[in-house]
Amino acid sequence: MPGAYAGKGLGNQFLDEIRKADALIHIVDAAGATDSEGRLCAPGAHDPLEDVAFLENEITMWLFQILKKDWLKISRTVEATKEGVVSQLEGKVSGLSIRRAQIVEAIRTLDLNTDKPTTWSDENLKDFADTLRRISKPMLIVANKIDLPHAEENLQRLKQSGYIVVPCCSEAELAMRRAAERGLIDYRPGDSNFRVLQREKMSPQQRVALERIREKILLKWGSSGVQEAVNASFFRLLHAVTIYPVEDVEKLANHKGMVLPDVFLVPYGTTAKQMAGLIHTDLGEGFLYAIDVRTKRRLGDDHILKDRDVISIVSTKRRG
């Protein structure tokens, strides 16, 4: 709720979770049927764009408070010792899942004077916190309750915010998952439709509800939006790539004969040697080279992997 950065409500607990995050999925009530305090209201009574703006402000102010504390001492130390301001800032935000490169990018974006950080005003520092938020905690919006009145018009307005916006109906996803668990339908998260398996075991109300989900959600929007939001956070916000490690380059299998047994989601820019270390520490320490299974080409330790690469690691050490 508004004021979380100052400790209001569960603010500290909430922001502690954000501290660990690489990306954020902001779920808003697209129908405007929930107010800023989380209370139910009539659809259209609340503007979901206000929720987006308030969360941006909460995270920015949280970062600003962290940076502002001891800032005068830090900035004077930089100028007196010629120690880089980036190193000082990196230490200040350690533990917030913010990388050095992201700090450098935020400074460059704002063209701040790194030689004279004592000249940075509170507004400069706040702008830096806001820019760093956008760079280090990229966010997408889930427009939930897309089946309710006013949701579609608000969806279009949310899209104008510049964020990736995913239309969603979490209630429909929950209903389909429960029906699938009971064996009533064949449905997997992210599917654009479902297949009825045991119609005779459904009540009339269940049949009507599921058909309504099919017509109003799946056929109209392509999915419930839940899995799409998770996928978008990895592939569109974090630019993750999928890598398939195998041991047998001919059969694309592990030592047990399982074909393509594992898939890793890793950041774009991950090298072959870094991938080996992610699979197992020993493989990384003893890394010799990797093999591109498709081309049979050897890949050196600094080779950057591409999405959907299938590789085999050759190492002096075996997995423990």
Per-residue pLDDT tens for 261-278? 999 999 999 999 999 999
Query: Same structural domain for residues 256 and 208?
Result: no
Give the pLDDT band of residue 120 (cuts 50, 70, 90).
very high
Give the pLDDT band of residue 319 (cuts 50, 70, 90).
low
Is residue 86 in some structural domain? yes
Give the pLDDT band of residue 8 (cuts 50, 70, 90).
low
Query: Same structural domain for residues 126 and 249?
Result: no
- Is the model's pLDDT at 75 over the cut of 60? yes
Query: Same structural domain for residues 24 and 129?
Result: yes
Q: Compute the distance between CA of residue 78 and CA of residue 69 in angstroms, rounded to an integer.
A: 15
Q: Compute the distance between CA of residue 153 and CA of residue 143 in angstroms, rounded to an integer.
A: 11
Range of the domain at 265: 239-315
Q: What integer pLDDT is reported at residue 3 of this predicted model?
A: 64
Query: Same structural domain for residues 203 and 85?
Result: no
- Is the model's pLDDT at 313 over the cut of 80? yes
Q: Which of 179, 205, 238 is the last residue of a domain?
A: 238
Rg of the chain over all Cα atoms, to the nearest angstrom: 24
Q: What integer pLDDT is reported at residue 299 of this predicted model?
A: 97
By mean pLDDT, which of 51-55, 260-264, 310-314, 315-319 is the weakest? 315-319
Q: Compute the distance between CA of residue 172 and CA of residue 175 in angstroms, rounded to an integer.
A: 5
Q: What integer pLDDT is reported at residue 320 of this predicted model?
A: 55
Q: Which of 206, 238, 270 is the last residue of a domain?
A: 238
Long-range Cβ pairs for the range 243-246 (8 Å, 24+): 243/270, 243/275, 243/305, 243/308, 243/309, 243/310, 243/311, 244/308, 244/309, 244/310, 244/311, 245/275, 245/279, 245/310, 245/311, 245/312, 245/313, 246/293, 246/310, 246/311, 246/312
- Between CA 311 and CA 316, with CA 312 as vertex, the angle to 5 degrees is 145
Q: What integer pLDDT is reported at residue 279 of this predicted model?
A: 94
Query: Same structural domain for residues 192 and 272?
Result: no
Contact by Cβ (8 Å): 128, 109: no
What tens digit of pLDDT does each residue of 203-259 get? 999 999 999 999 999 999 999 999 999 999 999 999 999 999 999 999 999 989 999
Is residue 159 in some structural domain? no
Is residue 48 in some structural domain? yes
Instruction: Tell me the percentage of the chain whose pLDDT exceeds 90.
Output: 86
- Between CA 271 and CA 187, with CA 245 as vertex, the angle to 5 degrees is 115
Is residue 320 in some structural domain? no
Query: Same structural domain for residues 52 and 89?
Result: yes
Contact by Cβ (8 Å): 35, 45: yes
Query: Same structural domain for residues 8 and 100?
Result: yes
Mean pLDDT of the chain: 93
Give the pLDDT band of residue 154 (cuts 50, 70, 90).
very high
Query: Same structural domain for residues 51 and 129?
Result: yes
Is residue 153 in some structural domain? no
- Is the model's pLDDT at 156 over the cut of 70? yes
The DSSP secondary-structure symbol of 320 reads -
Query: Same structural domain for residues 188 and 92?
Result: no
SS3 267: strand
DSSP string of 246-264, one letter each residue? -SBTTTTB-TT--BS---E
Query: 272: domain CATH number?
Result: 3.10.20.30
Q: How many domains does the chain have?
A: 3
To which residue do tokens 């660990």 refer? 20
Is residue 21 in some structural domain? yes
Query: Same structural domain for residues 8 and 94?
Result: yes
Query: 110: domain CATH number?
Result: 1.10.8.470
Is residue 77 in some structural domain? yes
- Is the model's pLDDT at 16 over the cut of 90? no
CB-based contacts of 218, cutoff 8 Å, min separation 6: 172, 191, 192, 193, 194, 224
SS3 62: helix
- Is the model's pLDDT at 2 over the cut of 70? no
Q: Which of 191, 206, 238 is the last residue of a domain?
A: 238
Q: Compute the distance between CA of residue 79 and CA of residue 90 in angstroms, rounded to an integer.
A: 16
Q: Compute the distance between CA of residue 92 and CA of residue 69 in angstroms, rounded to an integer.
A: 9
Query: Same structural domain for residues 115 and 133?
Result: yes
Is residue 74 in some structural domain? yes
Query: Same structural domain for residues 264 and 228?
Result: no
Q: What integer pLDDT is reported at residue 83 of this predicted model?
A: 82
Contact by Cβ (8 Å): 185, 179: yes
Q: What integer pLDDT is reported at residue 43 of this predicted model?
A: 93
Q: What integer pLDDT is reported at residue 220 of this predicted model?
A: 97
- Is the model's pLDDT at 10 over the cut of 60? no
pTM: 0.86
